Amino acid sequence: MSTPTRRRWVLHVDLDQFIAAVEVLRNPDLRGRPVVVGGRGDPTERGVVSTASYEAREFGVGSGMPLRIAARRIPDAVFLAVDAEAYSEVSGVVMDTLRTLDVVVEVAGWDEAFLDVETGDPEAFAETVHDAVLAATGLHCSVGIGDNKLRAKVATDLGKPQGVYRLTEENWFAVMGERSTESLWGIGRKTSRKLAALGVSTVRQLADASDRELAATLGPNMGPWYARIGRGIDHSPVSAERWVARSHSRETTFQRNLVDWTDVTAEVRRLAVRVREDIVAENRRAVRVTVKVRYAPFDTHTTSMPMQDPTFDADMIADQAAALVDRLDHEREVRLLGVRLEMTPPV
């Protein structure tokens, strides 16, 4: 029996229901119950779902949903506060485990990573990945196999939970052709609606669409890029370089809407000063300020402007953020505010 030819594969590793799974590990009594993690864990307060267990997802609860709506759908769900420190610690163990497999590991978030693997049997290697992560952490993962990062990432969703799925140039259209454009990595609901307005609703239609027409509607760079991902094309390498944040942000959801815009400005200044502390800790100056607002009931907008010069100056940063408040709709009540500072590159 001949040995399969070794070749390069990209594997995408995604921890199943990661945050909820960590909480179940900490409290095994939660196993099998609908668990919702978000905010301070109080569904009577304003906040959104960070993640939901599979048992909760069966009721239509998912990331980004207001906690109050989740509580109405599952009154007897277990609601827990976000514990970022715990999730980060477990994530570190997962990534260190992947690095022991002697492959290039690109960390893509708390709960996912890309691997650059040379093997003749990618499914067997994927099972090795799953078993190594399970042994080290008690967590299950799904693994997508592809001939590039895009196809590996999409394949992971097709194999969930605890599954392995291969998606390559050979089966791309057979598997993806009739699926919605929203099933592609990089296309969200808003872009999907814009494409649908052009008569492009499926992956096959996107792949066949004219680059010129897409560019005219979606921009000279983004339009053709969407067509490429419709064809499953992705040339980006798997890189082990440490991910470096381009920005830091802080935001606050108010339990009661802000109606006095003097209070809005004061809150924006406060958030700006807090984010300034984060960038000082990295020794990277602010180069752009963005203010995020969510009007009641749930309508989100952002506005931004560059700093005149890179700076750590707290007054300048707060003044610039406050100036952006003038661009907002002062006739509306405010549910959430956020401030983001983009930073100079690391030295």
Residues annotated as catalytic (active site), given as ranges: 112
- Quickly tell me which residue has 């505010």 as its tokens: 337
How many Cα atoms within 13 Å fall on the side-chain side of residue 172? Answer: 22
Beta-carbon count within 10 A of 306 CB: 12
- Whole-angstrom Cα distance, residue 89 to residue 17? 16
CA distance 111 to 17: 9
Q: Residue 161: is the preceding peptide bond cis (ω within 30°)?
A: yes
Question: % helix / strand / coil in the chain, to the nearest 5?
Answer: 40, 25, 35
- Whether 43 and 14 have beta carbons less than 8 Å apart is answered as no
With b for 16 or more beta-carbon neighbours within 10 A and e for fewer, the 206-226 pattern comes to: bbebeeeebbeebeeeebbbb
Residue 6 CA to residue 77 CA, distance in Å, equals 48
Helix (H), strand (E) counts: the chain: 13, 12
Output the CA–CA distances (angstroms, integers) from residue 320 to 183, 277, 300, in the order listed.
Answer: 39, 16, 20
d(CA 241, CA 203): 32
The C-alpha angle 295, 298, 304, rounded to 5 degrees, equals 50
